[in-house]
C-alpha cells in the first residue's frame, strides 16, 4: 500500500535500484560460472571424491588417514610431497598415480574456473585484484618464452615439479597470454598427467635405491620437500629486501 497521490515508484529509492541491479548482476555471474564447463566437470569429480572418501573412512580408517596425509602434503608442498608421502605410507605407484591425477585434475578445474570467473569483469576485492595483477606481472615476465615456445613452453612449465610451477599457475599464465579455455586445459591437463606419472615412477625407483642403502633415510627427502616451498619463499623475501635497500 502506498499513500494517496503517491506513485509506487516514488518510494523506490536510488539505493534500492542499485541494490536490485547488484543482485541481478551477482545472479547472472553465478549462473555464468555454473554454465562454465570446467566448473561443471570439477564439481562432478569433487562429488565422486567425497563419496569415495566416505566409503574409505567406513571400510578402512587407517588408509583414509594416510590419504588425508597425502592431501595435506600436496597443499603444503605441492606435487612432489604428494608423491613421496604416498610412498612413505607404503602405497604403490599403481595406486598413487590415479589418486593424484584425479585429485589434482579436480583441483585444477575448480581453481581455474574461479580464476577465470574472478578475472572476467566482476567487482574484485583488493586481495583478488592484487592476486590477478601479480599473475599478469608473472605472465609478462615469461612473455618472450611462451611466444617462442608456445604450447611446448607451457607444457614444460607444468611438468616441472618446483614451487610456483605446476598446472594451476600454468593455466593462469596461459589464460592471461590469450589462450582459450579449451586450448589451455588441453595443454595443461595432459602435461600434468605426464608429470605425475613420470615423477612418481622416478621417485619410486629412487626410494627403492635409498632403502637398499639404509631404511628410513627416505623420510629426510620427504621432510625436505615439505619445507622447501617455505625456504624458497624466505630466500625470495631476503633478496627482495636487499634489492629495496
Query: 190-203 pLDDT, tens per residue?
Result: 999 999 999 999 99
> Where does residue 111 rank: exposed (0-12), middle (13-18), buried (19+ CB within 10 A)?
middle
Instruction: Identify whether the C-beta of residue 163 lies closer than 8 Å to the C-beta of residue 228.
Output: yes
Residue whose C-alpha cell is 588417514: 65
d(CA 70, CA 197): 16
d(CA 59, CA 40): 29
Q: Per-residue confidence at 27, pLDDT binned at 50, 70, 90?
A: very low
pLDDT of residue 108: 93
Q: Compute the mean pLDDT over every residue in the chain, rounded to the nearest whole number.
A: 77
Q: Per-residue confidence at 130, pLDDT binned at 50, 70, 90?
A: low
In sequence order, what DSSP letters do the residues of 132-187 get, joined into one string?
Answer: HHHHHHHHHHTHHHHHHHHHHHHHHHHH--STT-SHHHHHHHHHHTT--HHHHHHH
Q: Per-residue confidence at 6, pLDDT binned at 50, 70, 90?
A: very low
- Is pLDDT of 187 > 80? yes
Instruction: Identify whether the C-beta of residue 135 lies closer than 8 Å to the C-beta of residue 173.
Output: yes
d(CA 91, CA 88): 7
121: DSSP letter: S
* Mean pLDDT confidence for 18-44: 63
> Model confidence over 143-183: pLDDT tens digits?
555 555 577 888 888 898 876 668 888 888 888 777 888 88
Q: What ranges do the domains of the chain cover? A: 14-244
Neighbours of 15 (CB within 10 A): 8
Write down the H helix ranges in the chain.
14-34, 37-59, 61-77, 79-88, 93-119, 126-141, 143-159, 167-176, 181-213, 218-244
- Is pLDDT of 237 > 90? no
Largest CA distance in the chain: 94
- Is pLDDT of 64 > 90? yes
- What are the cell numbers at 141? 615476465
* Mean pLDDT confidence for 224-244: 71
Amino acid at each position: 500500500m502506498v499513500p494517496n497521490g503517491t506513485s509506487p515508484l516514488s518510494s523506490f529509492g536510488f539505493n534500492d535500484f542499485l541494490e536490485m541491479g547488484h543482485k541481478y548482476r551477482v545472479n547472472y555471474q553465478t549462473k555464468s560460472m555454473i554454465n562454465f564447463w570446467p566448473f561443471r566437470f570439477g564439481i562432478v569429480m569433487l562429488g565422486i571424491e567425497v563419496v569415495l572418501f566416505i566409503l574409505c573412512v567406513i571400510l578402512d580408517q587407517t588408509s583414509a588417514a594416510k590419504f588425508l596425509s597425502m592431501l595435506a602434503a600436496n597443499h603444503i608442498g605441492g606435487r612432489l610431497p604428494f608423491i613421496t608421502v604416498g610412498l612413505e605410507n607404503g602405497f604403490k605407484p599403481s595406486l598413487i598415480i590415479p589418486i593424484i591425477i584425479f585429485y589434482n585434475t579436480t583441483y585444477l578445474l575448480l581453481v581455474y574456473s574461479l580464476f577465470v570467473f574472478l578475472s572476467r569483469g566482476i567487482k574484485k576485492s583488493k586481495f583478488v585484484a592484487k592476486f590477478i595483477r601479480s599473475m599478469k606481472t608473472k605472465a609478462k615476465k615469461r612473455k618472450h618464452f611462451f611466444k617462442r615456445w608456445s604450447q611446448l613452453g607451457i607444457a614444460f612449465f607444468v611438468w616441472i615439479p618446483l614451487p610456483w610451477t605446476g598446472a594451476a599457475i600454468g593455466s593462469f599464465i596461459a589464460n592471461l597470454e590469450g589462450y582459450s579455455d579449451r586450448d589451455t586445459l588441453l595443454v595443461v591437463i595432459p602435461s600434468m598427467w605426464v608429470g605425475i606419472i613420470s615423477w612418481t615412477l622416478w621417485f619410486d625407483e629412487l626410494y627403492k635405491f635409498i632403502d637398499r642403502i639404509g631404511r628410513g633415510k627416505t623420510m629426510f627427502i620427504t621432510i625436505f620437500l615439505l619445507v622447501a616451498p617455505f625456504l624458497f619463499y624466505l630466500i625470495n623475501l631476503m633478496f627482495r629486501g636487499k634489492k629495496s635497500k
